[in-house]
Structure 1
Amino acid sequence: MAREKVITSGPGDEQKKHDAALRPKLLKEVIGQRKVAERLEIAVRASKKLNEPLGHILFDGPPGLGKTTFATVLPNELGTSLQMTSGPALAKPADLLPFLTNLEEGSVLFIDEIHRMPRVVEEFIYPAMEDFRIDIVLGEGMSARTISMTLKRFTLIGATTRSGMLSGPMRDRFKMHEHLEFYSVDELATIATVNAAKLNTPITSQASLELARRSRGTPRVANSRLHWTRSFAAAQHDGTITEEVARAALDMAEVDRDGLDKNDRKYLETLIDLYGGGPTGVEALAATINLASDTLSDEIEPYLLREQYITRSPRGRVAMPRAYSALGKLPPVPKPKPDDKQGSLFE
């Protein structure tokens, strides 16, 4: 198992602790994303047989789909150590030095939100990724000199929700680029069942399916729903999560049968009621809802786009018929297009 030496940057929160407690430890325990897991298993086996560090890996996809899970599982598979940080915490090259100089042979450095790493830090890490060395400049002006420091061979794992914001040279330095997809209802139901067992909470198969259907195709959301339902079952019932208990708990949390929560509905209500169904830009929606535009584009919109509640046009976001149905509204009647032909008395 990995000798996990985790260096965190910034305070954690309760949800992250819950997620960490429920994460699988090995690739064979990962539910869903099987194609990705199979490719990673081959890469791990090759790394061990060739006695080489695992190639650098970039995971991308919406939040909560398992990017951090894969990053924590791989060191366990390799039997090596793990260091963790995030792009926003690396404001300058000096912030990266403690992580690079503490690396062990074959260890893993995980950078979450790597697209938010400043360009100057990105350029500093290029030689570390390619040649396992860094160049440190001492002094200033005419007296400045550069020292080249050799590093232990390591694996960099990056996670991003916006791979397009990474520069081309940065993306090219990753040997593997894996995009994570949303999970099926059956996969999420299995995750709910397995994690309920880890929490010593009885749950019925129908309750697991109910949680899965309301979890937006995302394991992190499923775990959050499970924790809330578990608390509800313990406080209001005998602790067992049945289908009836799951429905009551999620209804109380304002999560509807399609998995839409209050922020999703607020988004759709604003788009339809205030902007006439669109098209409108994400910045305008964010300002009206009083949420960050990154929250809308990274956390709310991916599911709404996937499930065809909204669509993107060159002019902005547009509400689809399913959005009107979810809010109990009638979609607008399309305006008739003007006929190119002019009527005539002789027709």
Structure 2
Amino acid sequence: MSPAFEPDDVVSPVAASEAEIAFEGALRPRSLAEFVGQKKVRGQLQLLLDAAAIQQRTPDHILLAGPPGLGKTTLAMIVAQETDRPLRLTSGPAIQHAGDLAAVLSSLVPGEVLFIDEIHRMARSAEEMLYLAMEDFRIDIMVGKGAGATSIPLDLAPFTLVGATTRAGLLPNPLRDRFGFTAHLEFYETEELVRVIERAAQLLGVTIGAEALVEIASRSRGTPRIANRLLRRVRDYALVEGGDATLAVVQAALHLYDVDELGLDRLDRAVMTTILQRFDGGPVGLSTLAVSVGEEAETIESVVEPFLVRIGLLSRTPRGRVATKAGWAHFGVVRQSDALFGDDL
């Protein structure tokens, strides 16, 4: 007979969700000293913050550029933490009118850190308002319409803008030039990811061996966010199976979640197999490829392609996407022309 459960034995969904949020917060470093990787960027940021503290002024505006998952949001939080200032979070897609930005800027307190994620997706009218705000801490509010419209200047409290973008090339030059410091975040090496995963495992209470750490790191696509996500799935697998996160457990868990030895997931393989099998290795255009795999073209271009190109499985040419020799070899697919005519051609 199974034991009866007392009310205290049942964990409510709300409590479980709050626990997961707490875990996510605990995984984020709270200082530049705790932040793993990006050594050059950390040194540059530390110098910028220290100089501002010595001069008793707000730090210069900061632009963080790089692929998703490398720590841009975490660095913005660290800037606020290290300067002991409040942090305001928003995103470019949420600012679709100049009035939206004016409401945010006018409510800032002196020295506050404003973080705008995906800043390249802001509305153009808001971008133009931001120019003056960043440079002179002032915005102009238009009152009225037509010939009777007047501009009323509104002074702002000094603030530090931290902008994050995955596509720095889409930012207009006037906006990019107003940032006092631009940091370009790079993908992580396996050794750095091992340190990230080891720290996260300690915080999550996961017992994991050295070989298992390297296995997760090598499949994380050079991205700490993916490394932490894979660690959580390994933790779940080990919890259900009733054991530690050994190398065999890691391999079994990642196989279950369709993450192969190179870190390719379901969508990566769908893109590559489509190019190899349906289009005989390419070239194939982006829109055609997107329709073939049933995915948005922007997702393929911004998420899938950069990784496949970086590890040498795919090449981008003026005529379209082309599989490389390494791509053919990894998937073990024979080119149709070779199968038909042999290697004499």
Normalising by structure 1, what TM-score?
0.89
Q: Distance in 1 between matches of 2:196 and 2:235?
A: 15
Measured after TM superposition, the shift of residue 19 of structure 1 is 4.5
Q: Within 5 Å, give how 1:119-198 maps onto structure 2.
A: 119-198=124-203
1:292 CA displacement: 1.3
- Conserved in 1, the CA contact under 8 Å of 2:218 and 2:262? yes
What is aligned with 1:115? 120
What is the distance in 2 between the residues matched to 1:63 and 1:317? 22
Structure-1 residue corresponding to 2:5? none
Distance 2:271 2:143 in 1: 51
Counterpart in the other structure of 1:245: 249
Whether the aligned pair in 2 keeps the contact of 1:211 and 1:246 (CA below 8 Å) is yes
Q: Equivalent residue for 1:307? A: 311
Is contact 1:182–1:218 with CA below 8 Å preserved after alignment? yes
Counterpart AA for 2:186: E
CA distance in 2, matches of 1:16, 1:302: 30
Deviation at 1:20, TM superposition (A): 3.8
| Residue aligned with 1:171, SS | helix
Distance 2:278 2:20 in 1: 33
* Amino acid in structure 1 at the alignment position of 2:119: I
CA distance in 2, matches of 1:54, 1:166: 21
Alignment of 1:35-114 (within 5 A): 35-114=40-119
The range that moved more, 240-249 or 128-137, is 240-249
Q: Against the structure 1 CA distance between its residues 278 and 17, is the aligned structure 2 distance closer, same or farther, given a 3 Å change threshold?
A: farther
Q: Matched residue of 2:33: which SS?
A: helix
Offset, 1:152: 0.8
Which residue of the other structure, out of 278, 281, 295, is the alignment partner of 1:274? 278
Contact conserved, 1:19 with 1:223, CA < 8 A, in 2? no
- Runs of 4+ in structure 1 deviating by more than 2 angstroms, as ranges, are 14-21, 330-338
In structure 2, the partner of 1:316 is: 320
Please say if residues 69 and 223 of structure 2, whose CA atoms lie closer than 8 Å, have aligned partners that are also in contact. yes
**Residue number in structure 1 paired with 2:12:** none
Question: Which position in structure 2 is the counterpart of 1:295?
Answer: 299
Q: Which one of the candidate residues 151, 175, 200 is aligned to 2:205?
A: 200
Question: What's the secondary structure of 1:157's corresponding residue?
Answer: strand
Deviation at 1:18, TM superposition (A): 5.8
Q: Which residue of 1 aligns with 2:329?
A: 325
Structure 1 pair 246–216 and aligned structure 2 pair: CA distance change class (3 A): same
**How much identity, in percent, do the aligned residues show?**
42
In structure 2, the residue corresponding to 1:198 is in which secondary structure? helix
Q: Kindly provide the amino acid, as one letter, of the partner of residue 258 in structure 2.
A: E
Q: Does the 8 A contact of 2:105 with 2:156 survive in 1?
A: yes
**CA 1:15 to 1:110, structure 2 compared with 1: closer, same or farther past 3 Å?**
farther
8 Å contact kept, 2:72–2:164: yes
Gaps of 5+ in 2: 1-18
Relative to structure 1, the CA distance from residue 21 to residue 296 in structure 2 (aligned partners, 3 Å threshold; closer, same or farther) is farther
- For 1:273 and 1:113, locate their aligned partners in 2 and report how far apart those are by CA, in whole Å: 35
CA, structure 1 residues 336+250, in 2 after alignment: closer, same or farther (shift >3 Å)? closer
Q: Tell me which amino acid in the other structure corresponds to 1:72.
A: M
What is the CA-CA distance between 1:237 and the residue it aligns to?
2.1
Whether the aligned pair in 1 keeps the contact of 2:276 and 2:333 (CA below 8 Å) is: no
Higher helix share: 2
The equivalent residue for 1:7 is none
Cα pair distance change 1:245/1:337, threshold 3 Å? closer
5+ long unaligned stretches in structure 1: 1-13, 339-347
Structure 1 residue 275: Cα displacement: 1.7
